[in-house]
């Protein structure tokens, strides 16, 4: 499977697609933003194609926010759960990671699966939201709290 990055003219962002997983790197509120859209069907085989390019996005140690849109996927099986749990545990300890918002939409199964995943991985579920606007609101609140703590 080939992995490609294309630069959007004048926006300084990157995007790519790997076996149904779409990602982009841009900016939000002056911070680097990594966005991932899960494929409809998630399996450990599909995730294994995605992991190296995804992890390379985090090689840049600038403070980064993340939005993961899982609203269109069918759910997480046990293998995908374990795979993502390990990936989340790795990502949250990287020097550049600030916060992640998870979009689940009105997909009850995905909402339940992501809640269990985040509870199991990091014991925090406050970043689970329904919409892009809510994800941005969550990230703004995180940045505001972070700024207040450093004053």
pLDDT digits (tens, 9 = 90+) for 126-151: 999 999 999 999 999 999 987 655 44
CATH architecture of 16-149: 2-Layer Sandwich (3.30)
Angle at 101 (CA atoms; ends 104, 16), nearest 5 degrees:
85
Where in the chain are the domains? 16-149
pTM: predicted TM-score of the whole model, two decimal places = 0.86
Listed in sequence order, the residues at least 6 apart from 72 whose beta carbon sits closer than 8 Å to its beta carbon are 37, 38, 40, 105, 107
Q: Identify the pLDDT of residue 64.
A: 95
Q: Identify the pLDDT of residue 148.
A: 54
- Measured over the CA atoms of residue 61, residue 66, residue 72 and residue 74, the dihedral's sign is positive
SS3 content of the chain, % helix, strand, coil (to 5): 40, 25, 35
């Amino acid at each position: 499977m080939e992995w490609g990055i294309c630069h959007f003219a004048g926006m300084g962002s990157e995007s790519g697609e790997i076996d149904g997983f779409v990602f982009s790197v841009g900016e939000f509120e002056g911070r680097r933003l990594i966005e991932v859209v899960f494929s409809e069907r998630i399996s450990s085989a599909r995730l294994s194609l995605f992991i190296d390019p995804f992890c390379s996005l985090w090689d840049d140690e600038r403070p980064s926010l993340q939005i993961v849109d899982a609203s269109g996927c069918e759910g997480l099986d046990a293998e995908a759960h374990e795979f993502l749990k390990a990936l989340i545990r790795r990502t949250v300890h990287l020097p550049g990671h600030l916060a992640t918002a998870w979009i689940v939409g009105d997909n009850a199964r995905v909402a339940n699966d992501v809640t269990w995943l985040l509870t199991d991985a990091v014991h925090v579920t406050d970043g689970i939201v329904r919409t892009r606007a809510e994800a941005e609101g969550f990230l703004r609140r995180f940045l505001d709290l972070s700024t207040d703590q450093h004053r």
